[in-house]
Amino acid sequence: MTAKYLAVLVLGISLAAFPASLAAQQDARDVLNASANAMGAQNLRTLQYSGSGFSFVFAQAASPGAPWPRFSMKNYVRDIDFTAPASHAQQVRTSVDKRGGGGVGLPTVDQRQDQFVLPGAPWSQQLDIWITPYGFLQAAMKNQATVTSKRVNGKNYELVTFTTENKYKVQGYIDDRNMVERVQTWIEQPAIGDMLIEAVYSDYKDFGGLKFPTRIVQSQGGFPVLDLTVADVKPNVPVVIQAPQRNGGGGPAQIRTKKVADGVFYMLGGANDSVAVEFNDYVVMIEAPQSEERAMAFVAEIRKQIPEKPIKYVINTHHHFDHSGGIRALAASGAIIITQKINKPYFEKAMTGPRTLDPDALEKSGKKMVFETVSDKKVLTDGTHTIEIYTVKDSPHTDGSIMAYLPKEKMLAEADIFDMPGPGVPAVTEGPATAANLVDNIERLGLKVDWMLPIHSADIVPVAELYKAAHRQVP
């Protein structure tokens, strides 16, 4: 075979493969243009829509594996600027569920919340713009989307798929009326790994020439976070999206450590705190919050305060992701996770999913998480220090909560039951019953507590503040 013939043959093979990719992209552009035309979205630059329904607090369930707690929204308004891109959603909500985190049961009847997405925000925040039907169409046109036909539950769709930031897969289902019916993507989540984000759109109606869904259901991690009935839509109206100025500036919170007793270090980290207790041969860490990055910042602080002793145990107060997102990082270094017994099967299922988007230290190590569980009580002691770990009975916040009591120091560490944000700021509880519930548990167990070490606090707190929040007298 001559070199000339080989060259012709190779060129022929390349040309045979190349048009298939181009054809898939061209087919996708035809599908996207047809959808944009059908929905009246060809020149959509801004959007405002409003309605009512339900919102749900992500990862704050009343029990491991249960749906996120629900709020009723009597007013929801969202502005989107697709050119910036930027978004502002505001809602007035009232708690429906009586148990769970994220503001469930707070005495304020109407709670106002604002959520901003500003230009330059990471994809995990911008996706709220790009998984709208119109954001999806615009992003797909810019990202070399491809299309395949798919039949789901007896219905035919054009499945349009693209990848953005060389990492995130996004796919949209366009029905036979050229309406975008469903958009899916996956993002990294410290506790559960690759997490599905899905938005389902139905009951399209015409609003000033724009076809818009009057029912929107968005889910994260397998449960709804928004169920909205749309009442009004205004395309291409002027919108001004500017987040309010916050005092104190941005950037990661600095860790401030207080040695509150011999061998006891209270690490104050802004949003979440942690506690380290030095034993003879090892360290016990109370709480590894939020994420691998955040947990390892606390670990670095422990190394400064207690060098050359391994962290043998990490006490996890409860399953909510802002309090468990860092336990995998500690497991990668060999630490044993102590948690309430009902959390273990949940963690073993939820925390072992795929982690292709952001493999963490545990994924890279190939190790497995090792748990020890608490039923009612567990004691760690070396003769010098003792930690008594108790289940918080009947917690309004969540099932499977535990607290750590230091009997010699008369200190109690707990999370999301009693918080003290700072000087002059009233104590915060997740509802009117939580402080009283903690007092009931302390008195039921006969614990002699002088000081509280809340995992959300600006400082160590006298127990009298807990009793004050519970409207009780200190015994």
CA proximity to 73, closest of 113, 122, 33, 16? 113
- Tens-place pLDDT, residues 59-77: 999 999 999 999 999 999 9
Question: Side-chain half-sphere of 125: how many Cα atoms within 13 Å?
Answer: 13
Token pair of 386 as six digits: 């003792």
The encoded tokens of residue 73 equal 């929204």
pLDDT value for 5:
41
Per-residue pLDDT band for 244 (boundaries 50, 70, 90) equals: confident
Beta-bridged to residue 72, according to DSSP, are 54, 94
Answer for the pair 327, 352: CB distance below 8 angstroms, yes or no: no
Q: What's the token pair of residue 302?
A: 């422990």
Q: Which residues are within 8 A (CB) of 336 and not within 5 positions of it... i.e. 6 or more apart?
A: 312, 313, 314, 370, 371, 372
Rg (CA), the chain: 26
Q: What percent of the chain has pLDDT over 70?
A: 90
CB 286 within 8 A of CB 316: no
List the strands of the sheet with 256-261, edge to edge.
256-261, 264-268, 274-278, 283-286, 311-315, 336-340, 371-374
Q: Helix, strand, coil shares of the chain as percentages rounded to 5?
A: 25, 35, 40
pLDDT above 90 coverage of the chain, percent: 82
Per DSSP, the three-state class of 315 is: strand
Q: Give the dihedral sign, CA 293/225/132/168.
A: positive
Residue-wise pLDDT tens digits, 151-209: 999 999 999 999 999 999 999 999 999 999 999 999 999 999 999 999 999 999 999 99
Name all domains of the chain by residue range, CATH numbers in brackets: 27-235 (2.50.20), 257-469 (3.60.15.10)
**Least confident window among 31-40, 213-222, 430-439:** 430-439
Question: Could you write out the DSSP letters of every residue in 375-386?
Answer: SSEEEEE-SS-E
Residue the block writes with tokens 């029912």:
215
CB proximity list for 55: less than 8 A, separation 6 or greater: 70, 71, 73, 76, 91, 93, 225, 226, 227
Between 434 and 389, the higher pLDDT residue: 389
Q: Tell me: the pLDDT tens digits for 126-156?
A: 999 999 999 999 999 999 999 999 999 999 9
Query: Is pLDDT at 241 greater than 80 in this prediction?
Result: yes
Helix axes 133-142, 3-39, angle to 10 degrees: 160
- The more confidently predicted of residues 436 and 13 is 436
Tell me how many degrees the CA angle 52-58-59 measures, rounded to the nearest 5: 155
CA dihedral 428, 431, 436, 439 (to 10 degrees): -50
Any idea how long the chain is? Answer: 475
Helix (H) or strand (E) holding 34: helix 3-39
